[in-house]
Amino acid sequence: MRYMKALSTILLFFLSIAVSAVTYRRPIERIASMDPIHSSSVPDSRMIQLVYEPPLGIDYVARPYKLIPGACELPTMSKDRIVYTFRMREGIRFQDDPCFPGGKGRLMDAHDVVFSLNRLRDKSNASSGMWTMDYVADVKATNDRTVAITLTKPFHVFPWLMAMSFTGIVPHEALETYGAKFGQHPVGSGPYRLVEWWRNHRMVFTRETGWHGWAEVGNPAPYDRLEYLVVTDPSTQWLMFLDHELDALGGIDRNNWDAVVDKHGKLAPGLAAQGVRLLSAPIMQVMYVGINMDKPLLGKNKKLRQALNCAFDAPAWKRFLNDRVEPADGPLPFGVDGRIETPFKYSFNVEKAKTLLAEAGFPGGIDPKTGKRLVLPISLGRADQGAREEVELLQGFYDRIGIRLEPQFMTWAAYLKAVSDGHVTLFMLGWVGDYPDAETFLQLFHSRNCSPGANHCNYRNPEFDKCYDEAMSAETPEARREAWARAQEIVREDCPWIYLYFYKSFALHWDTVGNYRLTDFPYGMEKYIHYQPPSSVK
């Protein structure tokens, strides 16, 4: 009896090792839907591209980023840059599911692509990604293996849109079988299958061993099981990570920073010795204080806007955020095609800020009409401790030049409405690039996109619009970059934003996770990572 008990204990021990070797665990935010056309958040997109394949993909390793085949080969383009032709890849099958005859998944063909993209275009489906089809005039299958997409006009970033989760290819049988519950029952052709979804608690995926892409990915030992846990509290996430209940953390909470990173910006030696690995890289996200140009005080006074930029103490802000950001020198983050590297004339300089403020008609921050300090309201969409600390720091920066910032805290919904309606003066926002091209950021300044569009600062400059339009119609990348450069110089001179900072991404993982990389496009990245023994990491 004792022998049997000992044997069972040994078996359980080795079984636990085997399970841990093939299961990858990390925290995730709440997922709203597994329907590609409703992939309205980064967490949604991460899960959706485990199961679904868009027509194209984004290279996991290459920097600068580049497109790679997805369900389709890279497209060809007509001479007039209007028609894109996509050729289906061979051997792609939808996963086995009861929605198919006999429960066996079938081969994907061009008609599935047409069905999926037209479903995305259909206004009645109210997809938040319908904008990706704005330039599409027609989608048709020229044969079972070929799709022709006709645009209304040239749009050079269109292929990048075909790598977004919104365009994941779905079988019509699943829609017909599951109807309104389709978002809870995904049926795709991707590397993993959803097998358990305890909403707002846990999602579990298992590997599709017959997925057509494994040989191409070249992963020596992909995880057989992925487990995502909804854990919203950063302290709980941290403790679970230390206890090996999580294999990776996609960020480091500010309150834990000093325990993780030393004064030199390196991983704390004690954690490194235990097998923790730290990754860091800039990401395509910019934070800014928008200046509502419809407010005459600021909209008609460029010197004042320039002074506001010069007064922003970027080094102090960087220290406040534990060196997790880089000062912004314009609207385009690092890694975006078309970004310029020329010096920003209105970076932090208190004396220059004071000079510009005097030239703007407010010497020492005093309004000569009233004899009182200039007061500028700044609106924020949250009122937590972090937001209050941030605005207090900003107030200190502008106190130096005699300007008083007056914070106005709102709920997020009320804040977005106020910004969209133009009822704010200064407002803090961020923007994340959907693809690595200048267009995704510079669209925020085109006059046709003024509120309620994405140009919430209501900036209007015909010269900028001309440069933007030239870039969009340019026939060569070189001509496009030259136009983007001129457009950036214009908005950096006009200062419709106070350019705050670019985010840096940080991630932690145990040394048992191989080939873990930081990317701006982590959607479905788990197919590239694998388990490895701790001793294999140098």
What radius of gyration do the chain's Cα atoms show? Answer: 26
Tell me how far apart the terminal alpha carbons of the chain are, to the nearest angstrom.
44
pLDDT for res 535: 59
CB 187 within 8 A of CB 174: yes
Distance from C-alpha of 411 to C-alpha of 7, rounded to nearest angstrom: 59
pLDDT of residue 214: 95
Q: Is the pLDDT of residue 31 over 80?
A: yes
| pLDDT attached to residue 450 | 94
- Per-residue pLDDT reduced to its tens digit, 280-321: 988 999 999 999 999 999 999 999 999 999 999 999 999 998
pLDDT digits (tens, 9 = 90+) for 370-393: 999 999 999 999 888 889 999 999
Does residue 188 have a pLDDT over 60? yes
CB contact at 8 A, 261 and 279: no
Domains of the chain by range and CATH?
22-229+512-536 (3.40.190.10), 282-504 (3.10.105.10)
- Residue 22: the pLDDT is 86
- The pLDDT value recorded for residue 386 is 84
The CA-CA-CA angle for residues 215, 217, 223, to 5°, reads 95
Average of per-residue pLDDT values in the chain = 92
Q: What is the pLDDT of residue 11?
A: 41
DSSP secondary structure, 352-408, as one string: HHHHHHHHTT-GGGEETTTTEE-EEEEEES--SHHHHHHHHHHHHHHHTTT-EEEEE
Q: What pLDDT does 8 receive?
A: 42
Res. 253 pLDDT band, cuts 50 70 90: confident
pLDDT band, very low/low/confident/very high, at 256 (cuts 50, 70, 90): confident
Q: What is the dihedral of CA 339, 345, 351, 356, to 10 degrees?
A: -120
Percent of the chain predicted with pLDDT > 90: 83
CA distance 222 to 39: 25
Q: Give the H/E segment covering residue 218.
A: none
- Which pLDDT band holds residue 265 (cuts at 50, 70, 90)? confident
pLDDT at 399 over 70: yes
Task: Give the Å distances, CA to CA, from 392 to 235, 376, 388, 395, 418.
Answer: 25, 14, 6, 5, 22
pLDDT for 7 equals 42
Instruction: Return the pLDDT at 9.
Output: 39
pLDDT band with cut points at 50, 70 and 90 for residue 165: very high
Residue 452: cis peptide before it, omega within 30 degrees of 0: yes
Extended beta strands in 4-104, E state: 23-27, 56-58, 67-69, 76-77, 83-87
pLDDT for 504 beyond 50? yes
Report the 10 Å Cβ neighbour count for 126.
9
State the burial class of residue 180 (Cβ atoms within 10 Å of its Cβ: 0-12, 13-18, 19+).
exposed
Rounded mean pLDDT, 49-63? 97
Reference 347, options 366, 327, 318; nearest CA is: 327
In the structure, what pLDDT confidence band is assigned to residue 21 with cuts at 50, 70 and 90? very low
Cα 35 to Cα 193: distance, rounded to the nearest angstrom: 14
**CA dist., res. 47 & res. 165, Å (int):** 10
Q: Using CA atoms, how far apart are residues 244 and 238, in angstroms rounded to an integer?
A: 10
Is a pLDDT exceeding 80 seen at residue 2?
A: no
- State yes or no: cis peptide before 64, omega within 30 of 0: yes
pLDDT at 538 over 70: no
Is the per-residue pLDDT at 15 higher than 60?
A: no
- pLDDT bracket for residue 258 (50, 70, 90): confident
What percent of the chain is predicted at pLDDT more than 70?
A: 95
Pick the closest to residue 228 from 522, 18, 536 (CA basis): 522
Token reading at 269: 């030696």
State pLDDT tens for residues 405-417: 999 999 988 999 9
**Which residue carries 């409703």 as its tokens?**
38
Total-model pTM: 0.87
